[in-house]
Every structure is written in C-alpha cells, then in structure tokens.
Amino acid sequence: MKLHATAVPQAVSVDLDHAILALSDALDFIGVDEIGHGHRVALMAALCAQSLEWEPDWRHRLVRAALLHDCGVSSTREHRALVDEIVWEGEHAHCERGFAYLGSVPPLAHLAPIVLEHHTPWAHLRHRGVEPSVALTANLIYLVDRADAVHARGVTEGKPLLDVLGRYEDSHFAPELMVVFRDQAMREAFWFVQEEPTLHERVADLLGTAPPVPLSMVEIKGLAGMFGRIIDAKSPYTERHSMGVAKVALRLGRHFGLPSATLDMMEVAALLHDLGKLRIPDELLDKQGPLSAEERRRMARHAFDTYEVLRRAFGDGPLARWAAFHHEYVSGHGYPFHFDNGDLPPEARIIAVADVLQALAQRRPYRQPLGPAEIAAILDGMVFGGKLDGGVVEAVKQDLDAYWQDAVAQEGGNPAS
C-alpha cells in the first residue's frame, strides 16, 4: 500500500522563547484546577528583578528559568504537595529531575543550575559557592514560587501573605530579595496583573524583546524528547510510552517511504502526542473501572490540549494535527474532533496505530503487557471496527516482532522485561 505524505516545508522554523512559552503552558496544566503557576512565578520574579535593576540578559534568563522551573514535576499529586506545604521534605527531588531534564537539552542547559537550586534555603545556598547571579535567580524563583503556593492556599495577598513568608527571611530567602518583594506585594497591581488575560500577555511581552533564537531540527527533537519524558513520568504505567510511540511511528514512516523532513516532524509529533495528559489528575489516569461522564470528558480533552499547545509552539500546521488526532477513528467516531478517514492525514493514522500498539505492549493497572500475537489480533479488531487504518495495521503485521520491540525498547535500545 502507498501512503501519500502530507506536504511539509523542508525547514520548520521554531524560536526558542516561542517554544518555551507554549510548552510552559503544558507544564502549567499540572496545576489541574489551579493552572498558570509557572507564568505567575515568571511574572512576579520579573517585576521584582526590574526593581532590583538586573540587566536585561539576566532578567531574560530568569523568565525562561521561572517558566520551566517545575519541569521536574509531572504528577498532579506532587504538584499538590508542593502547594500545600511551604517547606516539604520531598521537595528537592523535582529540582534534581528538572536539572537533569534541562541539562540534557543544549539550548536549555544554561537554566539547569538555576532550577537545581530553586528550593535551596538561602542560609545554605549562599555558602555553596554557586555563581552569585545563579544563586539570586534561583532564590528569587523560590521566594515568588512560595508566594504563589501560599496565595493558592487562600492566604490574602499583601500583609497576611508577607507575614507568612517573612518568617522564612534570612533562613530561606535572601533579605535583599525580601525587601523588593515586600514593596511589590503591597501594591494591588502586582496581584491584578497575575490574572488572565493580562498574565499571558505580560509574560509573552517579557520574552518578546530578545532577538529570536531559531532551533535546529536536532534541537527541536531534543526539546520534544525532554517533554516526552516529562509526560511519561506522570505515571509508572506510561514510562517510555511517548518514546515507544515515536519509534514505532518512525519505522512505519520509513516503511511507507515518507520523506525525511516528514519523518522528523512525525517523530516530534509522536513524542508530544500526549502533552495534554499533564492536565489529567493522577487518580483519574490510574483509575480502574468505569469512568463517569465528567471523567470521560476530562480524559478526552487531553488530545485537544495537545493541539492547542502545539499549534502555539509550532504553528497551526501538520505537526499539531498529527499529534492531536491520535484518538480519532477512520470511521469518524473517535475523539475529540470526530474527523474521519477523509480528514485524517496518513501521519496521524500512523501515530494512532503506534499509540495503540505501544499501550498494548505495556502493563496497565488493569492488565499485563500483551505479546505480539495478542496485539495483532486486537489491532485487526480495531480495523474491523473502523477505528484504525487497515493499511497501516497490515504493515505492522508484516514485521510484527520489530514493531513490538520498538514499542517496548528501553532507552538504550534493549527490550523491556
């Protein structure tokens, strides 16, 4: 069977700050009902840095780091723990994860040392030999991060909030930062500006002043790989899911002879297809048994949220669609857009098959991982039911073991046990 690839531009042009802005929206989803944490932290920190008269480059790095500071948090449970306690025993784990994620992506590696220290009390940090601008940036993020947590718990802005945080001056927060934060926090405008739509507009303005930093395809893939790991870390059941889907999709793309520019974009789309899952509460994602109508709605919106974030990051083009259409059926009875065979690009149909195959090859709360023969039978049933593309499933069946190995492979390429 031949597939007609969607025509894609040879070079996708993506600016680093543009991508950070869009992808930080996905991180902010982890707040579930309290979304926007990273944006509020970035804006509060930037307003304080302006008062501190930090240089523009320094402020720019601060905003980037603030938007991504919680990239080490994937689980909504951990996010809740971070909001519920001012100081919490397990808080450093997410700093270390964030450090590792950012350090692995060259265009973001300069932010890693800041994120590593964003919960280190000032009394320790000042003696750790950390470069002063890094230490102050990390501590400012810590301070406004805790301000947002205290605020989210219902403590009134202004003096009551300052009374709570003031107890941690010197021990946790640098006195010179507390001075400017006190001044800012007593102004009503400091809090009003953190409400939507001003919040998003102002944060975009903060990053809009610097010259664009175009990313190469290798860098885009690196960024997508990092977010794929963040998505997969949400649940032990989805470990390596995004990477496995990308591997299967790539093998399928090569089988159908898709051009290399298409393969590159399809890999990025596959790594990011479940980005919207960051908004699904952990309890719901791991739930066994039937879902209520409201729970089903919450689940269904993840593909829509993927679409919205990716069209902001990469434009309203093929990449966002290939990723977001992974639960559409060729019959038109999938979700959430209800597109059918005529609307679904081949790349989206490939990712849809790769998604099902990888999920079946992996353990789920309600079943053991399935082997190649069981998976082939289920895929056939889904073709028969008008869910998956028959030609794509046929290609999988021709080389079943190789696809199954891709689906379950560990990062080093060894099959999972």
> Quick one: which segment of 13-21, 28-36, 126-134, 270-278 binds Fe ion (CB under 5 A)?
270-278
Nearest distance, CB of residue 216 and Fe ion, angstroms? 26
Q: CB of residue 10 vs Fe ion: minimum separation in angstroms?
A: 28
Which of 122, 219 has the CB closer to Fe ion?
122
We find the least distance from the C-beta atom of residue 274 to Fe ion, in angstroms, to be: 4
For the bound state, the minimum distance from the C-beta of residue 2 to Fe ion, rounded and expressed in Å, comes to: 26
> What distance lies between CA 247 and its chain's CA centroid?
19
Task: Note whether 120 and 138 are within 8 A (CB).
Answer: yes
Q: Are 121 and 139 in contact (CB under 8 A)?
A: no
Site map (CB under 5 A) of Fe ion, residues 125-154, x = contact: --------------------x---------
Please state the closest distance from residue 303 (CB atom) to Fe ion, in A. 6
- Strands 14-15 and 214-215, by their bridges, are antiparallel
Minimum Å distance from CB 235 to Fe ion?
Answer: 11
Of the pair 98, 345, the CB lying nearest Fe ion is at 98
Instruction: Classify 316 as helix, strand or coil.
Output: coil
Calpha distance 226→39 (Å, rounded): 20
Is the CB of 267 or the CB of 274 nearer to Fe ion? 274
**DSSP three-state, residue 120:** coil
Judged by CB under 5 A, the number of residues near Fe ion is: 4
Rounded to the nearest 10 degrees, what angle do helices 400-408 and 372-384 cross at?
100
Q: Which is nearer to Fe ion, 215 or 277 (CB)?
A: 277
Structure tokens belonging to residue 406: 């891709």
Q: Which amino acid is at 279?
A: R
Q: Do residues 9 and 191 touch, judged by C-beta distance below 8 A? A: no
| CA distances from residue 233 to 114, 350, 357, 363 in whole angstroms, order as listed | 22, 24, 19, 15
Q: How many whole angstroms separate alpha carbon 253 and alpha carbon 250? A: 5
Establish if 28 lies at the interface with Fe ion (CB under 5 A).
no
Closer residue to Fe ion in complex, CB, 215/279: 279
How many residues are there in the chain? 417
Minimum separation from the CB atom of position 275 to Fe ion (A): 9
Which residues have a Cβ under 8 Å from the Cβ of 51 and sit 6 or more positions away?
Answer: 180, 183, 184
Q: Would you give the binding string for Fe ion spanning residues 343-382, x where CB under 5 A is met?
A: ------------x---------------------------
Q: Among residues 47 and 215, whose Cβ is nearest to Fe ion? A: 47
Our CB check for Fe ion shows the closer of 136 and 215 to be 136
Residues 40 to 99: which contact Fe ion by CB under 5 A?
A: 70
CA angle 205, 211, 213 (to 5 degrees): 105
Binding site for Fe ion (CB under 5 A): 70, 145, 274, 355
